[in-house]
Amino acid sequence: MEIRVLVSDLGNVLLPLEPERAYRALAAASRHPEGIAERVRQVAVETGIGRGGASPEAFYQRLAAALGLQLDFATFCRVWSDIFREDAATVALVRQARVERRYLLSNTDPIHWEWIRQRHPRVLEPFDALFASHECGLEKPDPAIYRRVLAASGLPPAAHLYVDDLPEYVAAARAVGMDAVCFTGSDHLHGELVRRGLLAPETR
């Protein structure tokens, strides 16, 4: 079936990220820096911030208490979010793909989302609809969040091409009937788009 909708992940596809930067900064401001990455992830899961289960302020307060953080809220938000850079080549491929619609589907949180909207608007511009996990109340790989995208398009699942860097999320997209590509870099994605007739071979 012809691909009519390109659905893309955000982090480590359009926006490579380095969460270790945030962990290092949080450790430097913590009275309890041991095992900080795992403890941060635990608080994120417990609060459900990625599904909209906690406000930014509540997440900060929970994390500050758990880690003994000596950061105010505004500084925490900056430290937490200043981990992204833009992959211009991949953003260009998304813009150039010969599809009717472009959707973004991202597991994120409201703090990162606000930062991205303010600091990286060019990355979001090509998309006709944005599906952020904390706004959907769902996270990948839950099939329901992929079905939310399908419901929005009204097209058969096979008319969608999903791009993600995580094999688990690619498999979940295929399980609901989408075509899908596991992203390993812009050169690979270029080849996959060309192979599906969504891009001219000479387009770079």
pLDDT tens digits, 27-82: 999 998 999 999 999 999 999 999 999 999 999 999 999 999 999 999 999 999 99
> Rg of the chain's alpha carbons, rounded to an integer?
18
Q: pTM for the full model?
A: 0.96
Mean pLDDT over the full length of the chain: 97
Q: Hey, where are the domains in the chain?
A: 5-16+85-195, 19-81
CATH code linked to domain 5-16+85-195: 3.40.50.1000
